[in-house]
Amino acid sequence: MSEAHLLKQALRAVVSGQLRASRDPHRPAWHLAPPVGLMNDPNGFIQFNQRYVLCYQWNPLACQHGAKFWGQWSSSDLVHWQHEPLALAPSESYESHGCYSGSAVDNDGVLTLVYTGNVKFDDGSRTAWQCLATRDERGEYRKLGPVLALPEGYTGHVRDPKVWQHEGQWYMVLGAQDLMLQGKVLLLRSPDLHQWTLLGEIAGSQLNGLGDFGYMWECPDLFELDGSQVLVVCPQGLAAEQWRYRNTFQSGYFCGELDYENAHFQHGEFHELDHGFEFYAPQTCQSADGRRLLIGWMGIPDGDEFFQPTKAHGWMHIMTCPRELTVAAGRVLQHPARELQQLRQQEVRFSGSADSLPDLDIDSAELALSIDGVCHASFADTLTLDAEPQGITLRRHNLRSGEPEARYWRGEVRTLRILCDRSSIEVFINDGEAVMSSRYFPDPLPQLRFSGSAQIALRHWRLQQCVIE
């Protein structure tokens, strides 16, 4: 299908649908969301020429997964964003079933995308090409085509290149599935982004003492942070346990040490990045001031997503807030990006027992709490949070079945920082020790109500709206 035809269809979808989408009371006030259609993975996250660029997997034509485009936003401050020209449309034979996820690099002053071209065949098989595109002075991208075919020894599930530079060479991690249907992360090297050499498997199921650990590993991201190498990855096929791995697919990280020459990654145990109901496919970038920033998709690729009420308004899914990462005692800590404090408006403070606190507006709000004891928090009678000696439990009713469902974090609860935005909450526990991100769909003007014997000191800010320009 020609690029011109796809662009015309995308434009028609946006023009005809954006007013209906904008009137949805569940549409976020300051989180990033697509103008219409279905959005999923963040892609091409980079700070380039002092401006952040964030692309995203996007089907502008329908609220369903399909042949994905790449939409594109940019921002000077991670708070105020504007639409940029559509980055990629799946118009070529090597990407006939979607421009799948990838990353962005600064190649001698040229912003370059590295992404997966997804191709499916009539017999049910598939293949994948790793492709390049470069941005011109108008903010538009020119495709350079495939630079890496499907490596031998793997199924057609090889995708999501994350690329960086180290000691004058380009390196890439790729998510993959081997012929034994085991998930892996591949490490590759190139002098020029065009000629790639496969160095080996650095992590995966049945490697490094892991045992069986999923049939596919998606969205790998490898970076150095506070003297440690961190591998972020999304393993598919982990069995649910009592307190963890409760979502259909997981997202987490390993801390370790990468031996570039021998393609060996010595790492510790797997830790989930987020313990809530919706979080997947995170991607990081390094800011000009040296911070490691992360944005994730506040969604999960499973059937329940299509029961979200925003589908009736012609749009689906949001991104998480941008987060700053640090490492302490071998664990990754996450904090809302400091730039988000620009959104704060009037502040109100309360202290006392949970039972004595007033109801609080959480349509678009930030709360900072210290907690001593047991408390229950009801978010518009739609989502609940219980803080108890053994940890935190989030509960809601499943949109598909109506049955109650829960997510858990185990540990002592000292402080909470909660970001609320109409149909989402992000709960940062103990100054970033853990996060629980979830969508929920309350009536307009939702209220938060506390109960219990805990002593609470609370700060509450209303957050101003931030329209994407």
Cα diameter, the chain:
65
What's the rounded Cα separation, in Å, for the pair 255 and 279?
20
What's the rounded Cα separation, in Å, for the pair 317 and 428?
20
DSSP codes, 123-180: TS-EEEEEEEEEE-TTS-EEEEEEEE-PPTTEEEEEEEEEEEEETTEEEEEEEEEETT
What's the rounded Cα separation, in Å, for the pair 39 and 32?
10
CA dihedral 3, 11, 297, 182 (to 10 degrees): -30
Residue 338 token pair: 């400091």
- Angle, alpha carbons 138-143-144 (nearest 5°): 125
Q: How far is CA 426 from the centre of its chain?
A: 13
On whether the CB atoms of residues 158 and 172 are closer than 8 A, the answer is no
- Of the candidates 211, 237, 232, 213, the one whose C-alpha atom is nearest the C-alpha of residue 221 is 232
Active-site residue, selected from the candidate residues 24, 41, 136, 221: 41
Give the side-chain half-sphere CA count within 13 A for 252: 23
On whether the CB atoms of residues 52 and 110 are closer than 8 A, the answer is no
Quick check: is 41 catalytic? yes
Other Cβ atoms closer than 10 A to 253? 23
On whether the CB atoms of residues 140 and 85 are closer than 8 A, the answer is yes
- Which 8-state DSSP code applies to residue 263? T
- The residues annotated as belonging to the active site are 41
